[in-house]
Structure 1
Amino acid sequence: MELAPRRHLFVLVHGGGGSRWDWHRVAPRLEAAGHAVLAVDLPTDDADAGLWDLADAVVDAMPADAPAPVVVGHSLGGFTAPLVAARRPVAQLVLLAAMIPRAGESVADWWTDTGHGELEGTDDDAAFYHDVPAALIAEARVHERDVQARAMAEPWPLPRWPDVPTRVLLAADDRFFPPAFQRRVVAERLALEPELVAGGHYAPISRPDAVATALLEGLPDGPGRTIGGRRPPPTG
């Protein structure tokens, strides 16, 4: 795969049960703005796949001569995106309605550790798809995959968050990760001020214009600087 000269490379990481299809409405909008886009299928349906296997699936899909990318992790992709930054130079990390891990924490433990399990009304389809058009929900069902990877039970392997400019985007109408819940988790774990984008948990499907606009408006503005993002403190 050869990348035409463009301003930035976006690497888009889907969430649990999803696929690269989840980005099929956002990617053309980023490309129309003159950027390269790479959306990758993670091996979440492979029982033998660990956390590093998920990250390596992303890294292996990137051309060796690709510029340092903007890596965007959606939902469960928040566990994978920072691991990509441990494998390859990354210009920026963006977390969209994402899980934010701590050192040594597994996906399985995250729900209890963050208090998500105490929230009401977050365990049904409405929490995921309430603002997605019916036709797109039916199409999403076709692309859903069972999450069987052993990565779900593995401790997150980094000792701290990568020293990479990071942005956190909250979906304003997210019923699965409500904004108030997310703000608390972001404050506790990254000490960053999150930004709001329109839409529910599956905003890449329901509100692709809003997601693409947010990604474009916060692009890195030169080495070590970002618009709307900063490096988290070096905490575990």
Structure 2
Amino acid sequence: GSGGGGGDHFILVHGLGHGAWCWYKLVPMLRAAGHRVTALDMAASGAHPARMDEVPSFEEYSRPLLDAVAAAPVGERLVLVGHSLGGLNIALAMERLPRKVAAAVFLDACMPCVGRHMGVTMEEGSKTVRSKLS
């Protein structure tokens, strides 16, 4: 959910196998400091209604974040925070909507190489996972 106030708007993105619930200690602390906070469930995660087999791509998995960033009012200072796999979600949002994001925090997170397109990053990551599974 989100909450009012001035300050920055923090959008929190969980890691794989988690949901918005994992930020339950941080959300009230940021709000108490005067920030707006939105903790999201990525597609098929947390309370999101989709099942993983209904999510055809990483972009669709990231859709809740992409939609939230796109919907932010012009001039709102967005700070994206990604934990673990959430780092790739926030990197994708930064690549797609660079003028909307003021800052990003990669919290013990996956982080793509600077200057590398997310499509390449995701393709290489998929190959690595497939090779480790075979």
Q: TM-score over 0.5 for the alignment? A: yes
Q: Figure out how many residues of one structure are paired with residues of the other and give that number.
A: 114
The change in CA–CA distance for 1:23 and 1:15 in structure 2 (over 3 A counts) is same
User: 1:105 aligned to 115, 121, 124, which one?
Assistant: 121
Partners of 1:2 and 1:23 in 2: CA distance: 12
Task: Confirm or deny that 1:79 pairs with 2:85.
Answer: no
Partners of 1:51 and 1:64 in 2: CA distance: 21
The change in CA–CA distance for 1:32 and 1:110 in structure 2 (over 3 A counts) is farther
Q: In the alignment, which residue of structure 2 is the partner of 1:95?
A: 106
Cα RMSD of the aligned pairs, angstroms, is: 2.8
The residue identity in structure 1 corresponding to 2:93 is V
The residue identity in structure 2 corresponding to 1:65 is P
Q: In the alignment, which residue of structure 2 is the partner of 1:70?
A: 79
Partners of 2:19 and 2:3 in 1: CA distance: 22
The residue identity in structure 2 corresponding to 1:46 is M
The change in CA–CA distance for 1:6 and 1:110 in structure 2 (over 3 A counts) is farther
The change in CA–CA distance for 1:81 and 1:94 in structure 2 (over 3 A counts) is same
String of CA shifts for 1:72-104, please: whole Å, max 9, x gaps: 010011111011123331000110011123541
SS state at 2:101 partner: coil
The residue identity in structure 2 corresponding to 1:51 is F
Partners of 2:128 and 2:109 in 1: CA distance: 12
User: 1:46 aligned to 41, 48, 52, which one?
Assistant: 52
Q: Report 1:78-157 matches (<5 A).
A: 78-88=87-97, 89-102=100-113, 103=117, 104-106=120-122, 107-109=125-127
Answer whether contact 2:80 2:105 (CA < 8 A) is retained: yes
Q: Structure 1, unaligned stretches of length 5 or more?
A: 118-236
Q: TM-score, normalised by structure 2?
A: 0.70
Partners of 2:35 and 2:88 in 1: CA distance: 25
Determine which structure has more spread, i.e. the larger CA radius of gyration.
1
Q: Structure 2, unaligned stretches of length 5 or more?
A: 45-50
User: 1:55 aligned to 46, 51, 62, which one?
Assistant: 62
The residue identity in structure 2 corresponding to 1:34 is G
String of CA shifts for 1:156-208, please: whole Å, max 9, x gaps: xxxxxxxxxxxxxxxxxxxxxxxxxxxxxxxxxxxxxxxxxxxxxxxxxxxxx
Instruction: Name whichever structure is richer in helix by fraction.
Output: 2
The change in CA–CA distance for 1:24 and 1:105 in structure 2 (over 3 A counts) is same
SS state at 2:121 partner: coil
Shift of 1:110: 5.0
The residue identity in structure 1 corresponding to 2:121 is E
The residue identity in structure 1 corresponding to 2:90 is A
SS state at 1:105 partner: helix
Q: Report 1:209-220 matches (<5 A).
A: none
Partners of 1:110 and 1:27 in 2: CA distance: 34
Answer whether contact 1:56 1:84 (CA < 8 A) is retained: no
The residue identity in structure 1 corresponding to 2:63 is D
